[in-house]
Structure 1
Amino acid sequence: MTTPAVTGAQQPVAEGLFTWPPAADRPTRLIGSECTGCGLVSFPAAPDCVRCASAEPKERLLADRGTLWTYTTQNFRPPSPPYDGPEAFEPYAVGYIELPGELLVEARLTEPDPDRLRIGQAMRLTLVPYTVRDDGTEVVTFAFAPDEESVESEEETA
């Protein structure tokens, strides 16, 4: 099976997960919700609060940077469905990113090598290709990448 060529058109993997379209003047942000009753922050955005059952959430743009709380690697192709990624499987890492003062987000990591990841590592939100549709539209999803800017500033202060 050949992968269709990307036509330049892109779309998010699902509406309402992250700000779209990307813009050079603002970082991409995950879209969560905050309960107006008890303050619980949820991702993805929830219509009802799982803590107090309030049905009055407000949209909340989550932090675009956090720290790696834990991670694991996916070294084999997951079963299909639900996986509908490319036929040619490449190992990848999945982790929980702690967004300060908000919550833990489970996400794919852009760095697949476990030797280059560490608990407490600074991470930043980014968009990555997920698949290419038959019409050439590239579908993108969110992931977290090691935050090289934080690594550089840590090295400067050491």
Structure 2
Amino acid sequence: MTQVPIAPDLFTWPSDDPALIAGRSSDGVLVFPYRKQKLVEGTREELEKVELPRHGTLWSFTTQRFRPPAPPYAGADDAESFEPFTVGYVELPDALLIEARLTEPDHEKLSIGQKMELRIVPFGTDADGNETMIYAFAPVGAADRGAN
């Protein structure tokens, strides 16, 4: 099965060291996810693509205990096979606070201030039968749970 990013220009991949892609405007403001343009002081300008830091700090988290409505949720599960997952905000140094799925499903193994690192993980299957890949954050030093 071919693996593809769930959306273009979301992260660098395939890569041994993937990074999230943001846009930076002339006033230094970062925008994630990346988009081509932004209004800056009333003028539409092209944004520079920049790679965000791969490591950050867990700022907050919670557990998603029910399957989100579909669409927009497009996971490879249904109401019966859904398994709760954790989601959180990861603060990337000198950059942004990023909302992301976390690879550690047990909230007891997570703590505010914990060091996190970016991973690219399977999510679902697209209309062409490709395995879609999303970004997630894992506790630093955690074993890969099928992540790339």
Q: TM-score, normalised by structure 2?
A: 0.85
Aligned match of 2:28: 39
Alignment of 1:110-149 (within 5 A): 110-133=103-126, 136-148=129-141
TM-aligned CA deviation for residue 133 of structure 1: 4.1
Higher helix content, 1 or 2: 1
RMSD: 1.8
SS in 2 for 1:148: coil
Q: Deviations over 1:45-78 (max 9, x none)?
A: 1334466455132111000110001011101111
1:90 aligns with 2:79: no
Return the index of the structure with the highest Cα Rg: 1
TM-aligned CA deviation for residue 12 of structure 1: 0.6
Q: Return closer, same or farther for 1:101/1:134 CA change in 2, 3 Å cut-off.
A: closer
Distance in 2 (CA, whole Å) between partners of 1:50 and 1:147 is 37
TM-aligned CA deviation for residue 115 of structure 1: 0.5
The residue identity in structure 1 corresponding to 2:121 is: V
Gapped regions of structure 1 (runs ≥ 5): 1-6, 150-158
CA contact (8 A) 1:40 1:49 kept: no
Aligned match of 2:145: none
Q: Return closer, same or farther for 1:90/1:51 CA change in 2, 3 Å cut-off.
A: farther
SS in 2 for 1:46: coil
Gapped regions of structure 2 (runs ≥ 5): 143-148
Distance in 1 (CA, whole Å) between partners of 2:24 and 2:88 is 23
Equivalenced residues, count:
138
Q: Return closer, same or farther for 1:42/1:134 CA change in 2, 3 Å cut-off.
A: closer
Aligned match of 1:68: 58
Higher strand content, 1 or 2: 2
Q: Deviations over 1:28-48 (max 9, x none)?
A: 000001111x10111111334
Q: TM-score, normalised by structure 1?
A: 0.80
